Amino acid sequence: MTREKLLLIGNGMAGVRTIEEILDRDAERYDITIIGEENYTNYNRIMLSNVLQNKNTIEEIITNPASWYEEHRIELVHHDPAVSLDAESRKVRTQSGIEISFDKCILATGSRSFILPVEGSNLEGVLGFRTIDDTLNMLKTAKSYRKAAVIGGGLLGLEAAKGLVDQGMDVTVVHLEKWLMETQLNEMAGKLLKADLEQQGLKFLMEKKTSRILGDTRVTGLEFSDGSILEADMVIMTVGIRPETALARQAGLAVNRGIVVNDWMETSASGIYAVGECAEHQGKVYGLVAPLFEQGKVLADVLTGCETAPYGGSTTYTSLKVSGCDLFSAGEIKEADGVKSIEAYDGLANSYKKLFIKDNRVVGIVLYGDISEENRYFKLLKQKQDISAFTSVSVLPAGGGCCGGAAADDVTQWADDETVCGCNGVTKGTVLQAIRDKDLKSVAEVTKATKAGGSCGKCKGMIGDLLTYVLGDKVATAPTGICGCTDLSGDEIVLQIHERGLTTTDEVYGQLGFRNREGCPKCRPAINFYLNVAFPKEHEDEPASRFVNERLHANIQNNGTFSVIPRMRGGQTTPQQLMQIARVAEKYEVPLVKVTGSQRIGLYGVKKEDLPNMWEELDMTSASAYAKAVRSVKTCVGAAFCRFGTQDSMGLGIKLEERYEFIDTPHKFKMGVSACPRSCAETGVKDFGVIGVENGFQIYIGGNGGTEVQEGQLLTTVETEQEVIDICGAFLQYYRETGIYAERTAPWLKRMGFDHVKSVLLSAEQRAELLKRLDEAVEGKRNNPWRQVVEDPKLQKDLYAVIRG
């Protein structure tokens, strides 16, 4: 049987998803050719803002590499756009002159950034934000220039602006309207969003109309209709998109704002179809990804002869990919034509909810701050449920038995046709079937098989719930006890320590019924830590319960030698220290002297017997590079030397290290202070990260490097160094008090809940209590003989003599 020729014009998300759906239904039906304008294979366009915000690389957002096209025998005409379409002869010609014939054709030409038709719009430095090349141009420009203006305060503009702030630029968003994202948010939510973004370093000019762009060959600024001027080295246009319809118009197809299609996605020419941002259905053009994928499924059914319901339009929703700004908007959000509303604002939590009601049905949703109930509300909207039986008070909060109550938020109770991943249009039923049919065991495997969770990632928790739902008792569970000596968990042990007033490890082992009354190498350090936190003054730190690295103040290496790493606060040193290190290294024939990743100088390959004399001769304290404690504070040189620096990062780093050095923590605790969002101190993967911005300091928590890298989450922005130091102390103490021994801050933050930890740290009252308890712990440690040994090299020598004896 001769296979039909299927031509896809446009290598973007909507078109390629349609091809994927066709291949899933009937992989042998068509010989497929795809014409692409860009010099890349198919990629996830909605993740470009993540690239700009340093969350993803270009490689990570490529969804279909070249091998995928080869595997499915798809001919890809690369970087060669179609320039003419003959609907009658069924032929297309590309820019390079290639002529391609087809039996059926899909137009998925997408849209382009709308560039304001003002004077200067063609100057160098005026860019759209739509493609990989746009993004790379923005990143390149950010390395050489300082000031950026983003015209347009919508979804795309705000994501672009935040990305440029993260690149270290001074960014001003220019918006024509009274509040941000006015088509998706009402005034209240828009103003809350603006306030939060200002805390992240963005600046705003509201109700400003750009009259011209200034400059000769390159942009130098903007002039507004009121005569005022804004300096700018780069201008990003995000005032909207326009469907790309030039090819369809040339071919004589029906075109309004977009390419007109019917309920089967067919254009005015038989055998030619359109999907995505270029298509207009019932007078509506969609710019969000979920509707485009819904169109693709219908078209895939049509082109493979499968029975399907006609496309009837889509209910859209919006969320913002900027950390610290959670919002959700869907449906009709204006009070008109019989639409009334219910709203609630929590000033303490900075959260806002507003539901728009018409004929006892939810027709619109605006959530800001707390968006945990977005699925419940969106279900009410999509299913047009009658809410007349509920009061205003019962509709707004999630409660058992209300509008579905807990079950509405429990993905396992959803219908199979409900969407779990809105970005990629993946239903609960699709996820469940993939888990069962393909024996999937992890969220990553589900994402690879279904694409669910592969875009913004918000649905990964629900995917995890569905995995547990299917696998049941096949899911491996960890033992509850901290080791084989006991069945008690860390939390249970800590509770008993406080309730019984236990102050020594012997008391813990005896009174809590440990099977091994001497403990083991796994539980002894944990119990010692829990006692240090619970009773910092009463409990004497037990050196015998610490790991050998901590006892010797040196890390044991793979050949049995040790590393000696003196403390250099904030990475700062002196000529005298450098000469001292050099003399000691030369005297003891140290095989390797290396600058460490934490901005210190390490001496490696040291013999055990040389350790006490070396520490005494160095006359420097240990950097605790081996300890489950506050370790280093990595800093950049800061505003004193760097042209991009906005704050004294080195000075603040030293203050943090001096204030909290030697404090024991459940696991190693690293800090970083960068003077600007370029983050040369790798602040984003530190347990406590600080980024200097024009108006103060951004604080990130829970970042971890290592085998499982976790990006820190934005906690808040503060104005003064003292606020940074106080929040750091409160964070340390709360982590100490609630963390499980050997648990890093990233899993701890996930277990505790970011919103909960944030509410604790930003409460002035709770922060003061935590700092008070931390000060008591610090005072207890300063009077502890073990801590005196850590801080005094001469006492260290005496300790080594005891150890050797």
Tell me: is residue 278 an annotated ligand-binding position: no
Tell me: is residue 680 an annotated ligand-binding position: yes
- Kindly give the pairing relationship between strand 234-237 and strand 147-151: parallel
Q: How many whole angstroms separate alpha carbon 265 and alpha carbon 260?
A: 9
Structure tokens at 102: 């087809």
> 279 exposed, middle or buried (CB, 10 Å; 0-12, 13-18, 19+)?
buried
Nearest to 298 by CA among 270, 283, 331, 276: 276
What secondary structure does DSSP assign to 591-622, as a single string?
SEEEE-TTS-EEEEEE-GGGHHHHHHHHT--B
Sign of CA dihedral 254, 256, 258, 264: negative
Angstrom distances, CA of residue 183 to CA of 347, 366, 372, 536, 699: 24, 11, 22, 55, 31
Residue whose pair of structure tokens reads 């290592």 in the numeric block = 706
Strand partners, 171: 148
Q: How many whole angstroms separate alpha carbon 112 and alpha carbon 572?
A: 50
Q: What is the 3-state secondary structure (H, E, C) of 629-642?
A: EEEEEEECCCCCCC
Q: How many whole angstroms separate alpha carbon 39 and alpha carbon 59?
A: 13
758 in helix, strand or coil? Answer: helix
Nearest to 726 by CA among 671, 764, 683: 764
Q: How many whole angstroms separate alpha carbon 483 and alpha carbon 726?
A: 35
For residue 104, the 8-state DSSP code is: E
Terminal CA-CA length for the chain: 88
Nearest to 203 by CA among 133, 152, 149: 149
- Kindly give the pairing relationship between strand 562-564 and strand 555-556: antiparallel
Q: How many whole angstroms separate alpha carbon 600 and alpha carbon 7?
A: 59
Sign of CA dihedral 288, 293, 298, 303: positive
What b/e sequence results for 436-475 when a residue is b if at least 16 CB atoms lie within 10 Å of its CB, and e otherwise? Answer: eeeebeebebbbebbbbbbbbbbbbebbeebbebbeeeee
Would you give the distance in Å from CA 160 to the centre of its chain? Answer: 15
Q: How many whole angstroms separate alpha carbon 433 and alpha carbon 402?
A: 30
Tell me: is residue 423 an annotated ligand-binding position: no
Q: DSSP alpha helices (H): ranges in 691-744? A: 721-738
CA-derived radius of gyration, the chain: 30
What lies within 8 Å, CB to CB, of 558 at 6+ separation is none
Indicate the length of the chain as a whole number: 805
Phi and psi of 679, rounded to 5°? Answer: 55, 55
What lies within 8 Å, CB to CB, of 626 at 6+ separation is 547, 549, 550, 553, 554, 555
What residues form the annotated binding site for [4Fe-4S] cluster?
A: 636, 642, 676, 680
What residues form the annotated binding site for siroheme?
A: 680
